[in-house]
């Protein structure tokens, strides 16, 4: 294994000791789309041997133009599980956990305390506030990274030592006011470029600790080949990192619009669904298939993918209330 890292160990910034430290750290990757999986792969190749992957979604054909780890064979399978499999093929001795769940406050509280750092592979700002709350509460460094269209941005965060996400953006935007990648599009190589910057930021935080550069928001436009940085200061009135009020860790709404016309519905309480039983119940209503441990049903002209934990993705319906009604009627009350 030492041979694998030989070119990195000779860097004075890493060395034997730094490489050893990387091997002992645990990194949580929140979101396993292009940004998250490219970051995870870069970290694994650089010597981070413990990765915890979280993603709520399944691989779809429109992911393939930008995600190197996914192939057409993976369509319909949970992204976190596909990523785990591909990363283990690269390094079978690594420890890679996959959690096919929505990262809400409870999941963040369960996972964040057990890692050394969190990286961002998310496609929505809402969940980033949950990550920020959990990281500030448990004093874990994290890297905020976002991509859209032809550009992306990034800011490394060390709670208590530099600004947090909420110092930068005090309040979440109104629902629907920020375009998603389904509306604005995404240029294939953009997430990979930002993932490389994110992996480098993560290594810097892991190896340099709070002495790594903080309070710098980097913006990179890959179409016009422009970068700029903005100095971000800690907000002395920040509700999260100054007042330590972690409101985003509280229970949120049960429905959320994902990228495009997909709505995610969460069960009212923690449940374990018998998908075979549900398939039998739904089969008179339309086409029902059990595949890769998930149930996919076509009901009333929309596609519903149900996970064993009771979570569902309702596709082809823009209105979260209709999605919620379909879920309550057919999946679970
Ligand atoms: Zn703050």
Q: Say which CATH number the domain at 59 has.
A: 3.40.50.720
129 and 186, same domain (yes or no):
yes
Compute, in angstroms, the gap from residue 130 CA to the centroid of ligand 1.
Answer: 13
Compute, in angstroms, the gap from residue 162 CA to the centroid of ligand 1.
Answer: 8
Compute, in angstroms, the gap from residue 43 CA to the centroid of ligand 1.
Answer: 27
Compute, in angstroms, the gap from residue 160 CA to the centroid of ligand 1.
Answer: 8
CA 165, 118, 314, 328 dihedral sign is negative
Compute, in angstroms, the gap from residue 174 CA to the centroid of ligand 1.
Answer: 20
Q: What is the pLDDT of residues 75-113, one digit of tens each?
A: 999 999 999 999 999 999 999 999 999 899 999 999 999
277 and 224, same domain (yes or no):
no
Round to whole Å and give the CA distance between 109 and 130.
9
Compute, in angstroms, the gap from residue 157 CA to the centroid of ligand 1.
Answer: 10
Q: For residue 309, give its domain range.
A: 255-330
Instruction: Give the model's pLDDT for residue 309.
Output: 87
199 and 320, same domain (yes or no):
no
Compute, in angstroms, the gap from residue 124 CA to the centroid of ligand 1.
Answer: 19
Query: 103: phi > 0 → left, psi -120 to 50 → alpha, else beta; which?
Result: beta
Compute, in angstroms, the gap from residue 64 CA to the centroid of ligand 1.
Answer: 36
Instruction: Give the model's pLDDT for residue 246.
Output: 95
208 and 86, same domain (yes or no):
yes
Compute, in angstroms, the gap from residue 115 CA to the centroid of ligand 1.
Answer: 21
Compute, in angstroms, the gap from residue 94 CA to the centroid of ligand 1.
Answer: 34
- Residues contacting 20, CB < 8 A, separation 6+: none
**Listed residues 249, 264, 282: the one ending a domain:** 249
**Is 105 in contact with 250 (CB distance < 8 Å)?**
yes
Round to whole Å and give the CA distance between 35 and 273.
31
Instruction: Give the model's pLDDT for residue 175.
Output: 62
Compute, in angstroms, the gap from residue 120 CA to the centroid of ligand 1.
Answer: 17
* Tokens encoding 293: 């441990």
Compute, in angstroms, the gap from residue 155 CA to the centroid of ligand 1.
Answer: 13
Cα separation values, 53 from 39, 78, 119, 193, 332, Å: 11, 11, 10, 20, 27
**Is 303 in contact with 291 (CB distance < 8 Å)?**
no
85 and 175, same domain (yes or no):
yes
**Listed residues 201, 221, 249: the one ending a domain:** 249
Compute, in angstroms, the gap from residue 165 CA to the centroid of ligand 1.
Answer: 6
Compute, in angstroms, the gap from residue 205 CA to the centroid of ligand 1.
Answer: 18
**Is 261 in contact with 315 (CB distance < 8 Å)?**
yes
**Listed residues 249, 267, 284: the one ending a domain:** 249
Compute, in angstroms, the gap from residue 76 CA to the centroid of ligand 1.
Answer: 38
Q: What is the CATH number of the domain that holds 304?
A: 3.30.310.10
Compute, in angstroms, the gap from residue 83 CA to the centroid of ligand 1.
Answer: 32
Round to whole Å and give the CA distance between 83 and 69.
7
pLDDT truncated to tens, each residue of the chain (333 aa)?
A: 679 999 999 999 999 999 999 999 999 999 999 999 999 999 999 999 999 999 999 999 999 999 999 999 999 999 999 999 999 999 999 999 999 998 999 999 999 999 999 999 998 888 999 999 999 999 999 999 999 999 999 999 999 999 999 999 998 876 667 777 777 899 999 999 999 999 999 999 999 999 999 999 999 999 999 999 999 999 999 999 999 999 999 855 566 767 667 888 888 777 788 899 889 988 888 899 998 889 999 988 889 999 988 899 988 876 777 788 788 878 876
Compute, in angstroms, the gap from residue 215 CA to the centroid of ligand 1.
Answer: 11
Compute, in angstroms, the gap from residue 153 CA to the centroid of ligand 1.
Answer: 18
Compute, in angstroms, the gap from residue 164 CA to the centroid of ligand 1.
Answer: 4
Compute, in angstroms, the gap from residue 136 CA to the centroid of ligand 1.
Answer: 8
Compute, in angstroms, the gap from residue 249 CA to the centroid of ligand 1.
Answer: 15
Compute, in angstroms, the gap from residue 241 CA to the centroid of ligand 1.
Answer: 4
Instruction: Give the model's pLDDT for residue 113.
Output: 98
324 and 236, same domain (yes or no):
no
- Number of domains into which the chain is organized: 2
Instruction: Give the model's pLDDT for residue 327.
Output: 86
């Amino acid at each position: 294994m030492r041979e694998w890292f030989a070119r990195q160990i000779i860097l004075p910034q890493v060395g034997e000791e730094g490489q050893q430290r990387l091997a002992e750290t645990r990194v949580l990757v929140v979101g396993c789309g292009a940004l998250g999986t490219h970051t995870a792969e870069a970290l694994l190749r650089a010597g981070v041997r413990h990765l915890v992957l979280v993603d709520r979604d399944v691989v779809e054909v429109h992911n393939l133009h930008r995600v190197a780890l996914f192939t057409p064979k993976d369509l319909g399978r949970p992204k976190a599980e596909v990523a785990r499999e591909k990363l283990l093929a690269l390094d079978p001795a690594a420890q890679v956990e996959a959690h096919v769940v929505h990262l809400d406050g409870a999941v963040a509280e369960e996972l964040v305390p057990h890692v050394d750092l969190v990286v961002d592979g998310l496609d929505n700002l809402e969940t980033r506030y949950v990550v920020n709350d959990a990281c500030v509460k448990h004093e874990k460094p994290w890297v905020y990274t976002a991509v859209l269209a032809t550009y992306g941005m990034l800011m490394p965060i060390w709670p208590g030592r530099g600004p947090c996400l909420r110092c930068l953006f005090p309040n979440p935007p109104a629902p629907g006011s920020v375009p998603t990648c389904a509306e604005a599009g995404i240029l294939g190589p953009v997430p990979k470029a930002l993932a490389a910057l994110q992996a480098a930021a993560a290594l810097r935080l892991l190896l340099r600790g709070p002495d790594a550069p903080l309070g710098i928001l980097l913006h990179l436009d890959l179409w016009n080949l422009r970068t700029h940085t903005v100095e971000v200061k800690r907000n002395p009135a920040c509700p999260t990192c100054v007042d330590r009020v972690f409101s985003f860790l509280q229970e949120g709404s049960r429905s959320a619009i994902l990228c495009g016309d997909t709505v995610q519905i969460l069960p009212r309480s923690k449940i374990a669904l018998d998908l075979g039983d549900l398939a039998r119940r739904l089969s008179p209503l339309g086409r029902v298939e059990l595949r890769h441990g998930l149930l996919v049903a076509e009901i009333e002209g929309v596609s519903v993918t149900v996970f064993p934990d009771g979570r569902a993705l309702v596709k082809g319906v823009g209105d979260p209330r209709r999605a919620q009604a379909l879920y309550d009627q057919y999946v679970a009350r």
